[in-house]
Amino acid sequence: MHFSHLHCHTKFSLLDGAADIGGMFKKAKADGHSAVAITDHGNMFGVFKFVAEAGKHGVKPIVGCEFYVVQDRHEKKFTKEKKDVRYHQLMLAKNEIGYRNLVKLCSLGFIEGMYGKYPRIDKTLIEQYHEGLIATTCCIGASVPKTILRKGEEEGEKEFLWWLNIFGEDFYVELQDHEIPDQKRVNEVLLKFARKHNVKIIVSNDSHYVDQQDANAHDILLCVNTGEKQSTPSAKDFSDDEAMPRGSRFAFYNDQFYFKTKAEMLNVWGHIPEGLDNTQEIVDKCFEPKLKKDILLPNFPIPDEFKVHADDTLNQWEYLRHLTFEGARQRYETISPEAEERLNFELHTIKTMGFAGYFLIVMDFIKAGRDIGVFVGPGRGSAAGSAVAYCIGITNIDPIKYNLLFERFLNPDRKSMPDIDTDFDDAGRQKVIDYVVDKYGRNQVAQIVSYTGMKAKSAIKDVGRVLDLPLDETNLLTKLIPEKPLDLNLQRVLLAPIDGPGGVKDKEGWGGEEIQNIQKLRDTMKSNTVAGKVLTEALKLEGSVRGTGIHAAGIIIAPKDLTDIIPVCTSKDSDWFITQFEGKVIEDAGVIKMDFLGLSTLTILKNALALIKQNHNREIDLDSLPLDDAKTYELFQRGETYAIFQYESPGMQKYMKELKPTRFEDLIAMNALYRPGPIQYIPEFIDRKHGRKPVVYDLPEMEEYLADTYGITVYQEQVMLLSQKLAGFSKGDATYCGRPWVRKTGPRWTR
């Protein structure tokens, strides 16, 4: 017997699916499934993660979507008499064309058909974009079953034939049995249609959670979605296009909507074995999508005199080289042999990696921002290590002067996209985004989605409300959750060992009162109380996707219409498209991500200069201010650093008073040291500066790179330079050596 689940909802069926993708694949692998399909409601939010997770388990991923189909996607006005009637419709991508059409339909559902919380498509779109897709009669909420139930068998057959005419051999009768009386009646008619029109049958389970015992957690999730208490009587025969009966809530019919094993499916469908086996035919028809793609850069227009190669990438590099040396002559006046060697090295790396277009794009919108009066930051992060970026105006920090390394930004031994975070004043940020949209087109620029998940405390609060636990008791439970680490999860709090290797004392560093509190939580979970049930169900629902938001800074710029590349959605909070894939994976999907950050500090500086001009008729150029002004250092020495970015916290003010900085290098070092881990070296740094402790070096050769920081290794650049000098590392290998210095997830030595 062959069987694969082809109708599966995950946590990305927002507040309707409770299935964890990883858990679903573990169960599929253990039960011998050759493939699994993802068919979330109206979206493709989880598709990239789904395909990546499938590879870890050796199970074939099939990408699909359960769409909402309406008569007219453009219709947005409805009344009690004229309702928004939606039908569910499952479609699976058979090949690359099908995947692209799935993306197109899913995107257009949001762009053109969004009404309330439903992205909707219609038959006109299906006729246009059905190639490469497989369709089924879907579930009891689909058009064929609903027509059978409401208008009879004859009308149902007309609807059936419409789909058969569009999809031909890629149309299947899908039978489901969740012990619902209407479903059984529909199945009898569908079997009749299948035999009459020679359409193959498949069977499925409308999977919304992984295991049967997760049914209650899923029901709680539905209550979170609808704002109801679980104690409210459920209307299990309710259809989502009908008015909810007064005093009742939406609920699934029973606990059968889970990822059943093959044996369980055989037990239900043993009388129609071909329905099980035919799922393999669809599995064999469908391709295995490769969603990880090389970055596609927008085509940046360049002057004709630089179009000397057949390859546009090389032409862009020629233009970039021209601009770099033009800028170098302005920045340095006389280009030293050291600067020329550095620029040629960087340009060669950029040429080899094919990223000239990226530099031109960033240079262009930064210049445009400055031209319209937007305040632009001097540069931050590893991009400040690029002399090319400095010469073409992306940054205003000379990396040669400050010994910043290009290899931190672009490693010639590892091909990954550059990452230039750009700071703008708050109001100016939107002006620059508007410029980018105007230049490349609305269909090629998007913001990036973020997923709002149920974290430990929010899961307890949501479940507590649904189970009617008094608010003070719910708050008491959340107060017992440790505050750190920020990414803690209930699995660790409630189930992980307390002592020993990998225990919470060892891994999280919890002790004393924290251990007492989590023991109280564990005792509560074991109790037969409402609070115990809250913790049990919150443990299952933690990580569920509550909704979507918009990444604070990320912007996507594509070389063509985004809906030809990735699925997009819309939001009432934005005028632009929003990607359906989150920032962690968006570049792997083949589009370039750039961070446009709005900083209030730049707004303060901009307003201050305007006031100086207004009140004193003096214009000040921030980029030409001296870095050795004694009065400025006196402000830092007194800790008077309010509203100075990175120096305004009480802790930093305390250390400024102790350090009494006298040079710019002191400020740079303190900014690098004032973070978890290196902060412990600040007292030693201060004592060495003031001569209370001697400046010592482990090896005499280290003085060249550690003298500015009094013998203390502060920067990633110092680690990289020392590894080259002392161990003979190449520039590329030195990057790997230095990266654990700044890695947020802890060191990961691979060599």
User: Ramachandran region of residue 234, left (φ > 0), alpha (ψ -120 to 50) or beta?
Assistant: beta
For the chain, percent helix, then strand, then coil, each to nearest 5?
Answer: 50, 15, 40
Sign of CA dihedral 179, 182, 188, 191: negative
**Residue 606 exposure: Cα atoms within 13 Å on the Cβ side:** 18
Instruction: Provide the pLDDT for residue 744.
Output: 45
Considering only CA atoms, which of 83, 93, 246, 103 is closest in space to residue 150? Answer: 83
Per residue, the 3-state secondary structure of 670-709, as one string, reads HHHHCCCCHHHHHHHHHHHHCCCCCCCCCCHHHHHHHHHH
Q: Collect all residues with Cβ–Cβ distance below 8 Å to 727 and sequence separation of at least 6.
A: none
Q: Are 387 and 335 in contact (CB under 8 A)?
A: no
Q: What's the pLDDT tens digit per position in 173-192?
A: 999 999 999 999 999 999 99
Mean pLDDT of 418-425: 88
d(CA 267, CA 721): 66
Instruction: Provide the pLDDT for residue 370.
Output: 95
Instruction: Provide the pLDDT for residue 206.
Output: 96
E-assigned strands of 103-218? 120-122, 133-136, 171-175, 201-203
Structure confidence at residue 243 as a pLDDT band (50, 70, 90)? low
Examine the pLDDT at 748 and tell me if it is beyond 80.
no
Q: Collect all residues with Cβ–Cβ distance below 8 Å to 296 and sequence separation of at least 6.
A: 558, 559, 560, 565, 590, 591, 592
Instruction: Provide the pLDDT for residue 736.
Output: 64
User: Ramachandran region of residue 316, left (φ > 0), alpha (ψ -120 to 50) or beta?
Assistant: alpha
Structure confidence at residue 244 as a pLDDT band (50, 70, 90)? low
Q: In DSSP terms, which residues pair with 446 in a beta bridge?
A: 556, 577
Examine the pLDDT at 746 and tell me if it is beyond 60.
no
Instruction: Provide the pLDDT for residue 445.
Output: 94
Mean pLDDT of 27-33: 96
d(CA 643, CA 604): 8
d(CA 714, CA 511): 31
Instruction: Provide the pLDDT for residue 507.
Output: 86
Q: What's the pLDDT tens digit per position in 247-280?
A: 888 899 999 999 999 999 999 999 999 999 999 9
Mean pLDDT of 390-414: 87
Mean residue pLDDT across the chain: 91
d(CA 709, CA 712): 6
Examine the pLDDT at 27 and tell me if it is beyond 80.
yes
Instruction: Provide the pLDDT for residue 718.
Output: 85
Instruction: Provide the pLDDT for residue 257.
Output: 96
> Between 472 and 298, where is the model more confident?
472
d(CA 673, CA 43): 44
Mean pLDDT of 703-721: 88
Instruction: Provide the pLDDT for residue 747.
Output: 42
Examine the pLDDT at 743 and tell me if it is beyond 80.
no
Lowest pLDDT segment from 174-183, 240-249, 451-460, 559-568: 240-249
Instruction: Provide the pLDDT for residue 103.
Output: 97
Mean pLDDT of 604-619: 94
Examine the pLDDT at 750 and tell me if it is beyond 50.
no
Structure confidence at residue 120 as a pLDDT band (50, 70, 90)? very high
d(CA 602, CA 605): 5
**Considering all CA atoms of the chain, what is the largest pairwise distance in Å, rounded to the nearest integer?**
95
Query: How far lies 389's CA from each of 344, 374, 529, 622, in Å?
Result: 13, 19, 62, 19
